[in-house]
Amino acid sequence: MARGAPRTAPGVDDLHHIDELAWAQRRPGKPAHLDEAEWEERVRDELSDIDPILLWQRNPARLDPTPIADLDRDLLARMALVEADARSVSSSGRFSSWDLRASAIRAISRSGVVAERDALDELIDDVASRATEHTIDLVLDDPAKPAHIKALMAEATVLLKLRVANRFAALAAPGQLPDERQMRTVARRFVGEGTELVDAQLAAASAIAGTGSLVSVTGPAGSGKTTLLRVALHALRLQRRRMIVVAPTKKAAAVAEREIGATASSLHALLADHGWRWGIDEVGTPVWTRLQIGQTDAATGRTYRGPRDFRLSRGDRIVVDEAGMVDLHTADALAIVAGETGAGIAMIGDPRQAAPVGHAGAMAAMTQVADNVVELSEVHRFTDRAYGDLTLRLREVAKAEDAVSVAAALDDGGHVARVAGTDAAHDLMVEAWFDWAERGKRVALVTATNDDATSISEAIQKRRVATGALRADVVAHGRDGQQLLVGDVVQTRRNDRATGVQNRATWVITAIRPERLELRNLADTTERRHVSVEYAADHVHLAYASTVHGIQGDTADASVVGPGVDAAGLYVGLTRGRVWNQVVVVAGSQDAALGELAEAMRRGSPEPPFEDSRRAARLDLLRAAREATQSPDGEPPSWLRSAPHGTGLSR
């Protein structure tokens, strides 16, 4: 400060800037006073402990580069487009020309080519240009738009979105609803006198039991979707109609079967029974084909004779639980099967929860044309009613100010824990597991990555061994050589029809035999399974902590969500615990923690239909900083003239 200048307190922006500088200089987890030589020696010692051969002197590797002339540029372009499309899921299927160019660079880097910079630049430009030929420009009327605007979509994805929407539109046909008094009688009989369905639950059960072709039921976590499905099941049985319950994963199907009382299976099992087969081609594009009756199944060598396990008839109701996790390719095949058989579809789920692997938007597309759409709004899961109301606000965050307000409310309720670094976050989550376990309660630990889940799980196992809760005298080995002990909480990662285990199902190891591991379901102690030691070595790992996809559909007494999750991970994680839920944030101050939490609430929004993607691209364009040049006739540029009132752009 200059001599004689008036003394004033730093403003909010000044403090924020100071905080950013301090964070950059001494961020949590950054080693202080690091001795590089000592660090190098420590790393070398650790490598030597693993395998001394790792430190042996080696001759330089001989490179056999691929000449540019030998490259298949069209193949590289397809690889670039597939990768850009896959990375676009979190931005509603949209990507920019810069994103596409980056994917082209990555595709070329994997080809083994070595060349001078000028030659590589020409190659990159050509591959990116070829890939662009197979995209749709969402803002075609503005060729001068900035290159960072996510205004491109893969042509195949656009066509898939439109095809799915058109198939659902063709299926839509209104029908009759059951008598309300009869439905209430069914509800009292099969749910219990002490459990009264709210109006929205009864409306949803009635829609599913009705004769309308398409039904969409959406609602937040804990809104009683399972209860209404039990009522719908019995109402359909009274009409001598069938309800076929399917889910995107075998694990979700097993949970539905256990809680609803109906036989359930994975959606893919139903589609496979109707002849569908799927895989990926040489560049990673999903490829779906269908066997016709009489054709030979290349995977099994057997002749396909038509559906055996899921023979559908007109009037049957296919209920897709956890429908927010259904991808577009799967929805396309399901719509075809429904059209052929006359069966109705009811999708029930929450698009705000975990998204599928692949493009989402199937449930949104069906909801737009469904004959009956029911939105559940009351939450029944949580012991704290006020917290239940807060989760509804968390689910509906749309604007930055909403996110800030919800973050503050979570903090006021004690649901935000700030720590100095990732290691401290892991330590807190480990402590939470032992704290709730001592009370005889179960806590769900939700992480952003598999690596985080592995680190926390192994730390819990190590501490349980140290305290005598686990014994290390009998050991099995899981995926990547992970040590498994009797009493460990584990997860199976591949469906196995022979043993009855599901991908992402969670178990407790009850015995380790020379040839097998014996398991007990963590949520249902009556369910017992066993897997071979060979299966365990490839498909079993510790699961004291899990990513959001691993925890989706589970309910525990408490939940702790680790740092780095997106909006879906945050919402799913903070709605798993009936009694208590908490999020851990790595930040240098409480204000910074709330800012990071608010940002996470808006990271990775649900993927919308095609027209909504187009509007999103235009909105991004309106927000972009551009030079406001005049057109030849003196009018403002088209992108500015088309700005709707209230976008924040001044003329």
User: Highest-confidence range of 304-308, 365-369, 392-396, by mean pLDDT?
Assistant: 304-308
Q: What is the mean pLDDT of residues 541-562?
A: 90
One domain for residues 572 and 485? yes
One domain for residues 85 and 107? yes
555 domain-assigned = yes
pLDDT given at position 319: 96
One domain for residues 446 and 502? yes
pLDDT given at position 163: 94
Residue 649 has pLDDT above 50, yes or no: no
pLDDT given at position 614: 67
Lowest mean pLDDT among 461-470, 624-633, 641-650: 641-650
629 domain-assigned = no
* pLDDT band, very low/low/confident/very high, at 556 (cuts 50, 70, 90): very high
Q: What is the mean pLDDT of residues 40-47?
A: 88
One domain for residues 288 and 208? yes
pLDDT given at position 610: 61
Residue 642 has pLDDT above 70, yes or no: no
Q: Alpha-carbon distance 319 to 231, whole Å?
A: 13
pLDDT given at position 10: 58
**72-83 pLDDT tens trace:** 999 999 999 999
Q: CATH no. for residue 426?
A: 3.40.50.300
**398-457 pLDDT tens trace:** 888 999 999 999 999 999 999 999 999 999 999 999 999 999 999 999 999 999 999 999
- Tell how strand 545-547 and strand 443-447 pair up: parallel
Q: Alpha-carbon distance 609 to 114, whole Å?
A: 41
* pLDDT band, very low/low/confident/very high, at 632 (cuts 50, 70, 90): low
Residue 21 has pLDDT above 90, yes or no: no
Residue with tokens 């429904």: 338
18 domain-assigned = no
pLDDT given at position 568: 85
Structure tokens that stand for 169 in this block:
């539109």
Contact, 545 vs 561, CB < 8 A? no
User: Could you say which of 100, 127, 150 is where a domain stops?
Assistant: 150
578 domain-assigned = yes
Counting every residue written for the chain, the total comes to 651
Lowest mean pLDDT among 216-230, 475-489, 501-515: 216-230
Would you give the DSSP letter of residue 70? G
74 domain-assigned = yes
pLDDT given at position 339: 96
517 domain-assigned = yes
* pLDDT band, very low/low/confident/very high, at 30 (cuts 50, 70, 90): low
Contacts of 589 (CB under 8 A, 6+ apart): 19, 418
For residue 56, CA distances in Å to 41, 48, 59, 61, 427 come to 15, 10, 10, 14, 36
pLDDT given at position 18: 60
More confident residue, 235 or 643: 235
Buried b (16+ CB within 10 A) or exposed e, 1-27: eeeeeeeeeeeeeeeeeebeeeeeeee
**261-304 pLDDT tens trace:** 888 899 999 999 999 999 998 888 889 999 999 999 998 999 99
One domain for residues 516 and 441? yes
Q: What is the mean pLDDT of residues 20-35?
A: 55
User: Could you say which of 102, 121, 150 is where a domain stops?
Assistant: 150
Q: Alpha-carbon distance 624 to 637, whole Å?
A: 14
pLDDT given at position 116: 92
Q: Alpha-carbon distance 506 to 540, whole Å?
A: 10
More confident residue, 537 or 395: 537
More confident residue, 122 or 644: 122
One domain for residues 453 and 532? yes
Q: What is the mean pLDDT of residues 303-327?
A: 93
User: Could you say which of 575, 601, 627 is where a domain stops?
Assistant: 601
> In this structure, which long-range contacts are made by residues 430-439, counting pairs with CB atoms below 8 Å and at least 24 apart in sequence?
430/456, 430/459, 430/460, 430/463, 432/558, 432/560, 432/582, 433/460, 433/544, 433/545, 434/460, 434/463, 436/557, 436/558
pLDDT given at position 644: 42
**Residue 560 phi, psi (nearest 5):** -130, 125
421 domain-assigned = yes
Structure tokens that stand for 175 in this block:
């029908």
Q: Alpha-carbon distance 432 to 412, whole Å?
A: 20
Query: Does the model's pTM come out above 0.75?
Result: no
pLDDT given at position 226: 83
pLDDT given at position 46: 87
pLDDT given at position 4: 45
One domain for residues 335 and 463? no
**351-366 pLDDT tens trace:** 777 666 678 788 888 9
One domain for residues 537 and 502? yes
One domain for residues 365 and 487? no
Distance between terminal CA atoms of the chain?
38
Q: What is the mean pLDDT of residues 196-202?
A: 86
* pLDDT band, very low/low/confident/very high, at 552 (cuts 50, 70, 90): confident
Residue 637 has pLDDT above 60, yes or no: no
Residue 135 has pLDDT above 60, yes or no: yes
* pLDDT band, very low/low/confident/very high, at 159 (cuts 50, 70, 90): very high
121 domain-assigned = yes
Domain count of the fold of the chain: 3
pLDDT given at position 232: 94
pLDDT given at position 634: 55
- Per DSSP (E only), the strands in 248-390 are 264-266, 276-280, 286-290, 317-321, 344-349, 372-375
pLDDT given at position 260: 85
* pLDDT band, very low/low/confident/very high, at 194 (cuts 50, 70, 90): low
pLDDT given at position 633: 56
One domain for residues 353 and 420? no
Cα Rg, the chain, nearest whole Å:
28
One domain for residues 200 and 311? yes
Report residue 320 CA to chain centroid gap.
17
The helix or strand, by DSSP H or E, that contains position 443, with its residue range, turns out to be strand 443-447
Mean pLDDT of the chain: 86
pLDDT given at position 648: 35
One domain for residues 145 and 208? no
Q: Which domain holds residue 597?
A: 385-601
Q: What is the mean pLDDT of residues 508-536?
A: 93
pLDDT given at position 445: 97
* pLDDT band, very low/low/confident/very high, at 85 (cuts 50, 70, 90): very high
Residue % of the chain over a pLDDT of 70? 86
Residue 477 has pLDDT above 70, yes or no: yes
pLDDT given at position 605: 57
